[in-house]
Amino acid sequence: AARALDHAVLHAAETLADPDPLGVIEADDRLGRPADLRVRARRAARNVVLSGASWRYGLRLALCIGLAQSLVSIIDVPRSYWVALTVTFVLKPDFGSVFSRAVLRALGTAAGLVVAAAVLAEVPHGWWDVPVMMLLAPLIPALTTRGYGYQTAAITPVILLLSDILNHQGLGLVVPRLVDSLIGCGITLVAGYLLWPESWGTRIGDRLADAVADTARYVECAFGDGDAAARARMRRGLYRDLSVIRSEFQRALTEPPPTGTRAAAWWPLVVAVERILDATTAARVRIRHGAAAPRPEEVAEVARELRALADRLRASVVLEKGHVNFTNDSQDSVLEPLRQEVGAARAVASPQDR
Range of the domain at 93: 52-194
pLDDT at 26: 47
Looking at the fold, whether 267 and 319 belong to one and the same domain comes out as yes
| 287 & 300 share domain | yes
User: Is the pTM here over 0.95, yes or no?
Assistant: no
Is residue 25 situated within a structural domain? no
Which candidate, 9, 18, 4, 5, places its Cα nearest to that of 275?
4
- Is residue 173 within a helix (H) or strand (E), and if so which, with residue range? none
Integer CA distances (angstroms), 45 to 39, 41, 51, 60, 249, in order? 10, 6, 10, 20, 25
List, for the chain, all residue ranges whose pLDDT scores fall below the cut of 50.
19-32, 350-354
Q: Are residues 121 and 148 in the same domain?
A: yes
In 3D, which of 345, 224, 354, 203 has the Cα closest to residue 277?
345
Do 141 and 215 belong together in one domain?
no
Question: Is residue 30 domain-resident?
Answer: no
Domain boundary among 194, 225, 256: 194
Q: Are residues 138 and 219 in the same domain?
A: no
Other Cβ atoms less than 10 A from the Cβ of 149: the count is 21
**Same domain (yes/no): 99, 227:** no
Local structure of 18: helix, strand or coil: coil
The rounded distance, in Å, linking the Cα atoms of 90 and 97 is 9
- What does the angle CA 54 – CA 310 – CA 324 come to, to the nearest 5 degrees? 150
pLDDT at 353: 41
Asked whether residue 220 is assigned to any structural domain, the reply reads yes
Are both 190 and 328 inside the same structural domain? Answer: no
Residue 198 — φ and ψ, nearest 5°?
Answer: -125, 135
Task: State the total domains in the chain.
Answer: 2
* Residue 47 covered by a domain: no
Q: In the listed set 125, 159, 194, which residue is the last one of a domain according to the structure?
A: 194
Domain identity same for 204 and 345: yes
Q: How many C-beta neighbours within 10 Å does residue 326 have?
A: 17
- Last-in-domain residue among 194, 221, 238: 194
Would 39 be classed as within a structural domain? no
Strand 350-352, strand 318-320: pairing: antiparallel
210, 145: one domain: no
Asked if residue 336 is part of any domain, the answer here is: yes
Integer Rg of the chain from CA: 26
Q: Is residue 308 part of a domain?
A: yes
- Predicted local confidence at residue 22, as pLDDT: 43
Residues 205, 179 within the same domain? no
Secondary element (H or E) of residue 203: none
**Which SS3 state, helix, strand or coil, does residue 350 take?**
strand
Q: What's the Cα-to-Cα distance from 112 to each of 88, 151, 207, rounded to whole Å?
A: 19, 10, 39
Instruction: Based on the fold, state whether residues 185 and 228 are members of the same structural domain.
Output: no
Angle at 35 between CA 34 and CA 40, to 5 degrees: 105
Tell whether 337 and 257 lie within a shared domain.
yes
Domain membership flag for residue 40: no
